[in-house]
Amino acid sequence: LFQSQSKVAKLLQLKAQLGGDEGKHVFVLKTAKGTRDYNPKQMAIREKVFSIIISCFKRHGAETIDTPVFELKETLTGKYGEDSKLIYDLKDQGGELLSLRYDLTVPFARYLALNKITNIKRYHIAKVYRRDNPAMTRGRYREFYQCDFDIAGQYDAMIPDAECLKIVYEILNELDLGDFRIKVNDRRILDGMFAVCGVPDEKFRTICSTVDKLDKMAWEDVKKEMVNEKGLSEDVADRIGEYVSMQGGQDLAERLLQDPKLSQNKQAFAGLTDMKLLFSYLELFQVTDKVVFDLSLARGLDYYTGVIYEAILSQTIPASVSTPAEQNGADEAGVSVGSVAGGGRYDGLVGMFDPKGRKVPCVGVSIGIERIFSIMEQKAETSSEKVRTTETQVLVASAQKNLLEERLKLTSELWNAGIKAEVLYKKNPKLLSQLQHCEETGIPLVAILGEQELKDGVVKLRNVASREEVDVPRADLVDEIKKRTL
Amino acid sequence: LFQSQSKVAKLLQLKAQLGGDEGKHVFVLKTAKGTRDYNPKQMAIREKVFSIIISCFKRHGAETIDTPVFELKETLTGKYGEDSKLIYDLKDQGGELLSLRYDLTVPFARYLALNKITNIKRYHIAKVYRRDNPAMTRGRYREFYQCDFDIAGQYDAMIPDAECLKIVYEILNELDLGDFRIKVNDRRILDGMFAVCGVPDEKFRTICSTVDKLDKMAWEDVKKEMVNEKGLSEDVADRIGEYVSMQGGQDLAERLLQDPKLSQNKQAFAGLTDMKLLFSYLELFQVTDKVVFDLSLARGLDYYTGVIYEAILSQTIPASVSTPAEQNGADEAGVSVGSVAGGGRYDGLVGMFDPKGRKVPCVGVSIGIERIFSIMEQKAETSSEKVRTTETQVLVASAQKNLLEERLKLTSELWNAGIKAEVLYKKNPKLLSQLQHCEETGIPLVAILGEQELKDGVVKLRNVASREEVDVPRADLVDEIKKRTL
């Protein structure tokens, strides 16, 4: 019947003639490496998580936009530093050179420049792609969701930055994933610190990458990398070591402003002054119990210019949960903490796209949703409550034969009245299998039709859980179902 | 500051040394050909359309799944007939050969086979990719949404098929896009008809493709293609011509069952018998006013095995609207009708993925959403009602200076109480610009703070539309805002 089937058959024949794999084409039935399907149960959890996040974004007055899954290759070029090798390119099939988006931030900046938008508060929830060496066992996917919130525009210092942190705080609270911390630092403080410690200018970025590993590696190993691989002197590394062990709040910012060397560095001074201001706003937003100024935080991406932050769950996650986890660059299997959000200020990115280099200051946050999904899935697994994957209110059923047409007619009436209704696609299903379908999928009500009910102009309405049955006049059925499934 | 900026600079220098384009790198600021961004207004419309469609799918008891944007290339191979050339391949960067999904049906079938699922009712809304020669002016995008609903499982004939048509009917009614028709035919009737007319077996599919052009081309031109390009005799073509001009309902199915030649063809007989049954269910679903049995309908895709259908808007669409339109294969610029949904039965597709060839019967429908978006956008354009892109209920404002901290504090209180609130990110914004922000974005309320209000423990609540102001005790503010923005 299928042309394509016969084509496949011909190909197989051909292959057989050529010898080789015994004429058997081994078709591998799987998803692409590093990707996964979401089944209905996972989707129900995903939509619950999204709805909490979207509510928060909307509460903060954000609009939403969408950009294509692929961009011109050159749009993504030169934005991700050493990670550029992880970008998926499309095959050159004649036409433009294209790549799958690596994050939602660069497409956002491209969108602002293309449409000459100078201020917007937007969120964007979509999949991004990284040709990472995945090892799904280490919790990395090659296709995964990001939930981004960004504020673009020329505003007074640190107000939008504080709102981004407030948003992370609200979302992690509402998702109820246990205790968490939000680490904050500033690119300018890092740069100033490197300068003061005696790191040569051209090594700032690469030393930054090394510092970024402090959440996974001991200081001793980080220092080794600095000295042996990156060529710093022991002295310089030790001076960095002193700084990156510091943690605190507004007090630490104040203390470092007293540090004669650091405060004389222009960059560090600006960063520390802003950090002080940021904490004063965070105080007003009542989030300082979870936010910590941490000099070891050094996010990898090239485009950050000011404040940077990262949120980390404190709870110990069993290795089994951390498996299908997060992709933001800071995770290992079975580790006790997980980065679930990150972001910062990137004032130069839009200007890289503008023909005249006009800058649009931006600050934003990205929620790394995959690890959150995993934790929620694990929670659902261990909870006694069953996750429903449909919202069906009533099954239209019959115990007698030859009532298919009557069942279809009633189902149609219910659909027309906006009731979520199902009917089994069998001429004469057994009542038991109809009730079983309700048990399995959590449908709370059954509307049962029989010869007698049809004669009397009623429908027998059965509560699946309590097994109670009552005859409802057909004209009242819709209201009765609505009342019972509020 | 940016390492990447300096990299780009170096590249530009290099290019300049090599001569060529006068040292100027012409960076083209655009989206990839055939794709588009959705701005906040378009997103608001898109989400409205999606919510109508998802409600309908849920009303019919569907669960949802999600599959990756790319599949193994061989998963998509041999499923789309002549259209296979439109598949986007990913570049071979070492690893698996991958392609972007061309529709949601083949990934669905792969999902069923991979997970050994033999019955499910699911919907899936996601983007698909076709490397079509786009001409966006002709309304074709290379990235576009599909909204699919499918029923998989071994059921009694025509019941799920009828539900798919009911769903198309409900959705097109609720979207309120004007009158429409749903054409129905059956692959088996087409094949039987071709056999009876004397088309050689091996030409069924290619003649089917030609018949498929009848909605865009006159019969005379279709006939010419059959005779001159596909090598049919005039006689055979004329016999086909007689059949494909037929339209009707259950009556036509009955009449054709009386056709001695057609009814003796096994395939045609099965198709016509099912068509009769289908219409009896459509009668119960009260949708026969829009459904027409049309022997000229011949959808292109290879995988259909039984009933096929296509929904067409009757209204005349101005050329400007049909521009950013639909991709289901049946559209031209400025034409008066547009196919906005299509589908059918594909009982063999899952079996193509199963190692043992086990079949899972499937029937489904795909809503082609892009043209619907365009019509809704056009409607919004001409309507006086403004599309809101945020849901903000209240702006926290002040007419006086030095109240930033108080504004932030109140805003935070409102967020904590679940109120959608905004505050301008300026130390001392003018009241006028705060009110203007409300006018522009449709925020209905302003909560105004001043020295006096702070002293009195109240907030001045202003209705933006009526300009009415009233002092509300701070403790009652949340309730008052909720009451007014129900």
| Ordered DSSP codes for B131-155 | -----GGGT--SEEEEEEEEEES--
A203 exposure class (CB count in 10 Å sphere: 0-12, 13-18, 19+): middle
Which residues, listed in sequence order, are joined to residue B312 by a DSSP beta bridge? Answer: B181, B339
Answer yes or no: are the C-beta atoms of B163 and B239 closer than 8 Å: no
- Which of these, B199, B193, B119, lies nearest to B159 by C-alpha position? B119
Grouping H, G, I as helix, E, B as strand and the rest as coil, residue B63 is: strand
| Residue A307: C-alpha distances to residues A278, A300, B476 (Å) | 9, 13, 37
User: Distance between CA B168 and CA B162 in Å, rounded?
Assistant: 10
In chain A, which residue's Cα lies nearest the Cα of B66? A38
Give residue A331's pLDDT: 39
* B314 confidence band (pLDDT: 50, 70, 90): confident
Give residue B367's pLDDT: 95
Tell if the CB–CB gap between B302 and A70 is shorter than 8 Å.
no
Give residue B81's pLDDT: 75
Tell me the average pLDDT of chain A.
89
Give residue B63's pLDDT: 97
Answer yes or no: are the C-beta atoms of B310 and B342 closer than 8 Å: yes
Give residue A19's pLDDT: 47
Q: Is the pLDDT of residue A15 over 80?
A: no
Give residue A478's pLDDT: 98
Give residue A381's pLDDT: 87
Answer yes or no: are the C-beta atoms of B101 and B71 closer than 8 Å: yes
Tell if the CB–CB gap between A32 and B426 is shorter than 8 Å.
no
| B44 contacts in chain A (CB < 8 Å) | 63
Tokens encoding B97:
């050969």
Give residue B6's pLDDT: 56
Instruction: Tell me what ipTM this predicted complex has.
Output: 0.88
Tell if the CB–CB gap between A69 and B391 is shorter than 8 Å.
no
Give A356-389 pLDDT, tens digit per residue: 989 999 999 999 898 898 888 888 888 888 889 9
Q: Is the pLDDT of residue A23 over 70?
A: no
* A317 confidence band (pLDDT: 50, 70, 90): low
Q: Is the pLDDT of residue A11 over 80?
A: no
Tell me the average pLDDT of chain B.
89
Give A147-179 pLDDT, tens digit per residue: 999 999 999 999 999 999 999 999 999 999 999
Mean pLDDT of A311-323: 63
Give residue B320's pLDDT: 47
For residue B122, say whether it is annotated as part of any ligand binding site.
no
A295 exposure class (CB count in 10 Å sphere: 0-12, 13-18, 19+): buried
- Which of these, B111, B114, B119, B116, lies nearest to B62 by C-alpha position? B119
Q: Is the pLDDT of residue B399 over 80?
A: yes
Range with lowest mean pLDDT among A39-43, A278-282, B24-28, B92-96? B24-28
Q: What is the DSSP letter of B55?
A: H
| Residue B154: C-alpha distances to residues A220, B160, B465 (Å) | 64, 10, 58
Give residue A349's pLDDT: 95
* B442 confidence band (pLDDT: 50, 70, 90): very high
Kind plus residue range of the DSSP H or E element containing B325: none
* B9 confidence band (pLDDT: 50, 70, 90): low
| B68 contacts in chain A (CB < 8 Å) | 31-32, 35-37, 143
Q: What is the DSSP letter of A66?
A: B
Q: Which residue in this structure is represented by tokens 């200051």? A: A361
A54 exposure class (CB count in 10 Å sphere: 0-12, 13-18, 19+): middle
Tokens encoding A376:
């929620």
Report residue B221: phi and psi, to 5°: -75, -35
Range with lowest mean pLDDT among A110-114, A137-141, B127-131, B173-177? A137-141
Q: Is the pLDDT of residue A139 over 60?
A: no
Mean pLDDT of A140-144: 88
For residue B123, say whether it is annotated as part of any ligand binding site.
no
Q: Compute the nearest-CA separation of A319 from chain B (Å).
A: 25
Mean pLDDT of B75-101: 91
Q: Compute the nearest-CA separation of B314 from chain A (Å).
A: 23
User: Distance between CA B295 and CA B118 in Å, rounded?
Assistant: 32
Higher pLDDT, A388 or A10: A388
- Which of these, B10, B11, B1, lies nearest to A205 by C-alpha position? B1
Known binding-site residue numbers of A for L-histidine: 103-105, 130, 146, 150, 299, 303-304
Answer yes or no: are the C-beta atoms of B346 and B304 closer than 8 Å: yes
Residue of A1, A65, A352 lying closest to B37 (CB–CB) = A65
Residue of A27, A66, A421 lying closest to B37 (CB–CB) = A66
Tell if the CB–CB gap between A30 and B3 is shorter than 8 Å.
no
Give residue B332's pLDDT: 35
| Residue B230: C-alpha distances to residues B206, B237, B295 (Å) | 8, 10, 20
Q: Is the pLDDT of residue A253 over 90?
A: yes
User: Distance between CA A345 and CA B396 in Å, rounded?
Assistant: 25
In chain B, which residue's Cα lies nearest the Cα of A280? B405
User: Distance between CA B125 and CA B372 in Å, rounded?
Assistant: 14
Q: Is the pLDDT of residue B160 over 70?
A: yes
Mean pLDDT of B38-57: 96
Range with lowest mean pLDDT among A48-57, B137-146, B452-461? B137-146
In chain B, which residue's Cα lies nearest the Cα of A145? B68
Query: Which residues lie closer than 8 Å to A214 by C-beta, 6 or more apart?
Result: A222, A244, A296, A298
Give residue B212's pLDDT: 87
A301 exposure class (CB count in 10 Å sphere: 0-12, 13-18, 19+): buried
Which residues, listed in sequence order, are joined to residue B362 by a DSSP beta bridge? Answer: B152
Give A446-474 pLDDT, tens digit per residue: 999 999 999 999 999 999 999 999 999 99
| B69 contacts in chain A (CB < 8 Å) | 69, 100, 127, 129, 143
Give residue A10's pLDDT: 59
Q: Is the pLDDT of residue B3 over 60?
A: no
Tell if the CB–CB gap between B4 and A79 is shorter than 8 Å.
yes
Q: Which amino acid is at B474?
A: R
User: Distance between CA B399 and CA B450 in Å, rounded?
Assistant: 7
Mean pLDDT of B223-232: 94
Percent of chain A clearing pLDDT 70 (strictly above): 88
Query: Which residues lie closer than 8 Å to B267 by C-beta, 6 or more apart?
Result: B188, B189, B191, B192, B195
| A63 contacts in chain B (CB < 8 Å) | 40, 43-44, 389-390
Give B244-281 pLDDT, tens digit per residue: 999 999 999 999 999 999 999 999 999 999 999 999 99
Report residue A362: phi and psi, to 5°: -140, 150
